[in-house]
Structure 1
Amino acid sequence: MIKIAFCLIWPFAFLYAGAGLDTFGITRIYATKAGTLEWNSAHWNNGHARLVQYAGDPYDPTGWTDNHSSGSGDSLFINGNGVLMINGAGPRFHINSTELYSGNDPTPLVAPQFFLNTEATGYYRRLTTGGAGYDGMEIQVRTGPLAHASAGGNVCDATGLASRFRDDGKWDWEKELKHPSSTVYSTKYNSDAPLFGGGTIPLNRWIGMKFIVFNIDNDAHVKLETYIDSVSDVTSGPPANGGHWEFVGSMIDSGSNWPGGDISGCPDLSQAMAVTVGHGTMLLRTDGEACTWKMVSFREIDPNSPTEAKFSRPGKDPNTFHMSICNGGRMLHLDHPSIRALSIRIYDIEGRIARTAEIPKGAKEVFLGSIGAGVRIATVSSEAAMQQSRIMVLWRGSKINQ
């Protein structure tokens, strides 16, 4: 007898064409909020190589670029061909649209704009080793412009939410209320999860991240979503077809389910608070090693508008299912019979096929067999519909208990 160890509910539907693209030709998940200004790195490709000094980037048309690196003024270098190099002990590349600065202030060229519900996108390439296991690719939003040990700042204004693809090959979200204390969450509170098949982030390979944060429940809670593109070749240009974006995970920060770490000396903070407002600043960071970024954008989104390119929400549409993976990951179930034959392909993060299966028309389940633990990319396709849906799943293996 096979004992049921867990049951993962997996909503999916066929992906429809016609997704919107951003400035670089990358798929947008959510629509941009009307009347807001997008920040993007298109000006990195203007032929002018330069350091990003503490006074900012003179070629940034918004004036929002803000260098908050510690210990060195040469931590951020733009090559003039669309690429930012980050290196040093504590490099910090801020997009600060608040007009709150310290030291040699950048000169804002547009009106201030508070970023709240944000879709952040960028491609990252690890160049060297030497950082801690938790270092790597990180995008942070809702943090304070002067909260990270800045002169005249307040460490109680950190209020940051970050998405991390870590050097040790794991992924998580990080929540920081008071700098520098933080806690993490991936599949559950205070946890991380494997992302690269048990290996570390590869060197000299471009990897895309989308990190989306928006308020829900009348601004009482916060939804976080992370996606990865580990397939597209962006060495010499934008990704084909807007990128190969796979769902990594999502969670809701209700506050009580994700305590925010040490808040001593911060009377306005509570460990049980969700970061529903924050302080409007976004940043890229790593520590102790060199990396490059390209095709970076931060957009204020309208989370209540129809998504521009996303798997349809489960509902009454016969093309839309709840899929559950049960019996220790061996059996795949649909919540209603399929109206057409479906092909299932399970891949590892490197694109190697781990399992294939077919669901006949009118069937509701298929036996998958034993599949090793780790992140798996599950592809559901229908030749009749010429459509395909891809979702990334944290596969816990056949012997776990939850």
Structure 2
Amino acid sequence: MTVGDADASNSMGDRIKRSLLSLLQSPNTRKRLVFVIIIIIAAALLALALVLVILLQAVPPTATDLLSPKDRFGITRLYPTSPGGIEWSSKWDNGAARTIVNDVDPEDDWFETKHGDGTYTIDGAGTLTASGDYVRMYVHDPANEREWSENLEITLYVKRIDETEIVDYSGMQVFARTNHGTEGRENVNYCDDRGYGGLVNINGGWAFEKETAHHLDDGYTRAAGQRPSGELPLNTWVGFKYVLRNMDDNTKVKLELYRDMTGGLNGGSWQKITEFIDNGNNFGVDRGACRPGVDPALPLIHSFIDDSSETGKPMLTVYVRHEYGTMAYSDFSIREITPLP
């Protein structure tokens, strides 16, 4: 480069600097620049917020205090939450009154009501009142990826309000170790419909139900029925705990039902009503099969049923149901616990 070329280059640089300084000294230019900077910052903050929302939705709810003898509602835990296990609890007490009809709870994407026909009114103070002919409340990973553990302690309080029709299964039913239309169609994926139910009938009966074939009249069977007192009382909170645990090196399933009649006072006074062990030869024998060649008596354990599951996720959901009437619910929690040896 010659001396002349260098002088020309320096002169050009000086002109560019003077032009930029002149532009920056202009009030209109400064306003535009500030506006552009604000837009860039706002876009960056929005992108960051979206990333945080996605990350928070992907993280399953977990226990905040594994050592506490009570859950966040102050209800006694019979068994501790397993390390790293999910501990979901309803968000009906978050101050946001709302009504849900066949939709996802806008305050909790783990809770949805899209599988039945009902109206779900949440008062924001802790109570959900469900009315309809086919009330269905599902709790599951919103991404339909993570299944529930086989070993669960499910707790809720139920209040019987009224019935529009009474059938032999009137009352509350809570099902676990099931998919039941959460992913796929329940009237197509019959092996994914299998599940264990804990039942409390309005006639006062408590029992377990095993669904072996949703599409068949003989695809259901009950066991260990008990009637500890009279009918399920009207307008009275009744505590319900349903415990499912594998045992004998994951070859059998132990089911337990507990009741509290104190309304949760001091964590509740939990009385065991009934229990049953599914050993593979005593629950579902000679009942309808979800498809030919599948043994309906199989304990609902991953190692026994995964190969017949249509989606490979036979334990994706926990759901609560009742028919033909109105019931109120509160203090609903699902916790993953440790299996028996």
Same fold (TM over 0.5): yes
Contact 2:174-2:321 within 8 A present in 1 as well: yes
Q: Which residue of 2 aligns with 1:222?
A: 253
- 2:280 corresponds to 1:242: no
**Is 1:213 aligned to 2:244, yes or no?**
yes
Q: Which amino acid aligns with 2:270?
A: W
> Residue 94 of structure 1: CA displacement?
0.5
Unaligned 5+ runs, structure 2: 1-66, 303-313
CA distance in 2, matches of 1:251, 1:157: 22
Q: CA deviation at 1:283?
A: 0.8
Which residues in structure 2 correspond to 1:21-170 (within 5 Å)? 21-41=70-90, 43-60=91-108, 63-70=109-116, 72=117, 74-97=118-141, 99-100=143-144, 112-129=146-163, 130-146=165-181, 150=185, 154-170=189-205
Distance 1:21 1:184, change over 3 A: same
Taking the aligned partners of 2:113 and 2:257, their CA distance within structure 1 comes to 25
* 2:92–2:123 CA contact under 8 A, matched in 1: yes
3-state SS of the aligned residue for 1:127?
Answer: strand
Asked whether the equivalents of residues 213 and 289 of structure 2 are also in contact (C-alpha less than 8 Å), the reply is yes
Contact 1:148–1:179 under 8 Å retained in 2: no
Q: Assess, with a 3 A threshold, how the Cα gap between structure 1 residues 216 and 92 changes in structure 2: closer, same or farther.
A: same
**Do the aligned residues in 2 keep the contact of 1:116 with 1:280 (CA within 8 Å)?**
no
Tell me the SS of whatever aligns to 1:87. Answer: strand
Taking structure 1 as the reference length, what is the TM-score of the superposition? 0.60
**Alpha-carbon distance, 1:36 to partner:** 1.9
Q: Say which is worse superposed, 21-30 or 90-99, in terms of deviation.
A: 90-99
Within 2, Cα distance between the matches of 1:53 and 1:214? 33
CA contact (8 A) 1:137 1:286 kept: yes
Write the mapping of 1:362-373 to structure 2, written as runs, cut at 5 A: none
Counterpart in 1 of 2:226?
193
Structure 1 residue identity aligned to 2:84: G
Counterpart AA for 1:193: Q
1:274 alignment partner, SS class? coil
Aligned match of 2:282: 257
**CA RMSD, Structure 1 to Structure 2 (Å):** 2.4
- The whole-number CA distance in structure 1 between the counterparts of 2:192 and 2:295 is 12
State the identity %. 31
SS of residue in 2 equivalent to 1:241: helix
Distance 1:288 1:150 in 2: 23
Unaligned runs of 5+ in 1: 1-17, 101-110, 187-191, 234-238, 306-402
Distance 2:246 2:69 in 1: 22
Q: Judging changes above 3 Å, is the alpha-carbon distance between structure 1 residues 35 and 126 closer, same or farther for their aligned structure 2 residues?
A: same
8 Å contact from structure 2 (residues 220, 284) kept in 1: no
The one-letter amino acid of 1:244's match is: S
| CA spacing shift, 1:154–1:206, aligned 2, 3 Å | same
Partners of 1:28 and 1:152 lie apart in 2 by 36
Q: CA-to-partner distance for each residue in 1:22-78, whole Å, 9 max, x for gaps?
A: 11111111110111221101x211222222343411101xx21121443x3x42222
* TM-score normalised per structure 2: 0.70
Aligned to 1:287: 323
Q: Tell me how far apart the structure 2 counterparts of residues 58 and 212 of structure 1 sit (CA, whole Å).
A: 29
Residue 179 of structure 1 and its aligned partner are, at CA, apart by 1.2
